[in-house]
Amino acid sequence: MSYDLIIIGAGPGGLTAGIYARTRMMITLILDAGEVGGQLVSLYPDKAIQNYPGFERIQARKLSDKLYAQVESMECEIKDREKVMEINDGKEELIIVTNKSTYHAHSVIVATGMGMFKPKKMGAKGEDEFEGKGVCYILPPKEDLIGKKVVVFGGGNSAIEMALIADAVTNTTIVHRRNEFRCDESNTMALKKSNINAVMGADLVSVNGDGRVRSVTLKQGDRTFDVEADVVLILIGISADLDDLKRWNLELTENGLIKVDYAMRTSRNGIFACGDAVDYEGKYKQITTACGEAATAANSAYKFVKKPYWA
């Protein structure tokens, strides 16, 4: 059997592409190497998203669940924990090889986001030793934080938003190596109104403990001091693993992301792309932009496969 469309990645981009493809009744399969939902479930499931139109606030996991339910209700086939390894050219079709199987499709949308991303590490003494024993890179469930001292490292939106979630239930400190945060103004305001203790212009020297994290040592100018901690949350960014894109022989920009034209076409015939995996001047990595590009990519795939008279 040959699918009309195979979508690689089930983040908000891939799921939206599935919704649009099914409105065109394209026989569609979505494959994801991990869990359906992409970054929303793997990086910030508890975060309240405030900039997805139509919802004043919606928990990331709930938004992902809604997208999943919508695409499933449209009878789009979805397989999780199946990683795409190769996209080969066949005779008037593409052959998609995963770690489990081989599929045939007339078109492909690459919606792999930041790939199989990993959180960036600070490289401080004790960080590796206490990973999983207090040092973490994803905010633990709120219930597990009650009564604990949380120290968050980072100065971007993610660090501040996670610190705000933790602050709702426990004593929280945020440490940033610069003197100003790099975040949305609404987050700076929320931080000012919160009880979070902000330590600016400070570096992490070491994570200390005795089988579990007990404190962190910070250096601020000439001063070195300890802050008590049970949980050390490090949110200084993610390292994208974009090796798949190179292997798939797609033309990439200097940032290592997929070059697309205005119709979300890639350099390979029949392969389209959307979301965090693509790059162009002015690209803004957000859920809404991923969804918008997904609608265009699905429409382009439809025109490519079905060749309607009006296209």
| CA-based nearest residue to 245, from 112, 120, 117 | 112
| Residue 233, beta-bridge partner list | 136, 152
Cβ proximity to ligand FAD, 40 vs 175, nearer residue: 40
127: its two tokens: 């960080």
Give the x/- contact pattern for ligand FAD in 233-252, rule: CB under 6 A.
-----------x--------
**Cα torsion 176, 181, 183, 187: sign:** positive
Residue nearer to ligand FAD on the CB measure, 85 or 205? 85
| Residue 136 vs 218, nearer CB to ligand FAD | 136
Between 67 and 218, whose beta carbon lies closer to ligand FAD?
Answer: 67
| Dihedral pair phi/psi, residue 219, rounded to 5° | -125, 120
Given the complex with ligand FAD, which of 31 and 124 has the nearer CB atom? 31
- Count of other CB atoms within 10 angstroms of residue 107: 27
Determine the interface stretch with ligand FAD among 28-36, 67-75, 188-196, 213-221 (rule: CB under 6 A). Answer: 28-36
- The secondary structure element, H or E, covering residue 189 is helix 185-193
- Judged by CB under 6 A, the residue of 39, 172, 206, 296 near ligand FAD is 39
C-beta of residue 54 within 8 angstroms of C-beta of residue 291: no
Contact present, 19 and 75 (Cβ < 8 Å)? no
Distance between CA atoms of 145 and 143, rounded to whole angstroms? 5
Task: Tell whether the torsion through CA atoms of 94, 95, 99 and 101 is positive or negative.
Answer: positive
Closest CA to 228 of 115, 117, 124, 149: 149
Interface segment toward ligand FAD; rule CB under 6 A; list 25-33, 67-75, 249-257, 259-267 = 25-33
Of the candidate spans 108-116, 145-153, 218-226, 251-259, the one that interacts with ligand FAD by CB under 6 A turns out to be 108-116
33 vs 165, beta carbon nearer ligand FAD: 33
Instruction: Tell me whether residue 201 or residue 237 sits nearer to ligand FAD (CB atom).
Output: 237
51 near ligand FAD (CB under 6 A): yes
Per-residue tokens: 153: 């490292």
Distance CA 308, CA 45 (A): 40
Regarding 286 and contact with ligand FAD (CB under 6 A), the answer is yes
Cβ 161 to ligand FAD, closest distance in Å? 7
Give 86's strand partners.
Answer: 97
* By the rule CB under 6 A, 87 interacts with ligand FAD: no
Rg (CA), the chain: 22
Q: Give the one residue of 79, 83, 148, 219 binding ligand FAD; rule: CB under 6 A.
A: 83
Instruction: Pick one of 21, 29, 114, 264: the residue that binds ligand FAD (CB under 6 A).
Output: 114
Nearer to ligand FAD, 36 or 218 (CB): 36
64 touches ligand FAD (CB under 6 A)? no
Q: Give the residues lining the site for ligand FAD (CB under 6 A).
A: 8-14, 31-34, 38-40, 43-44, 49, 51, 83-84, 111-116, 158, 244, 275-277, 285-288, 290
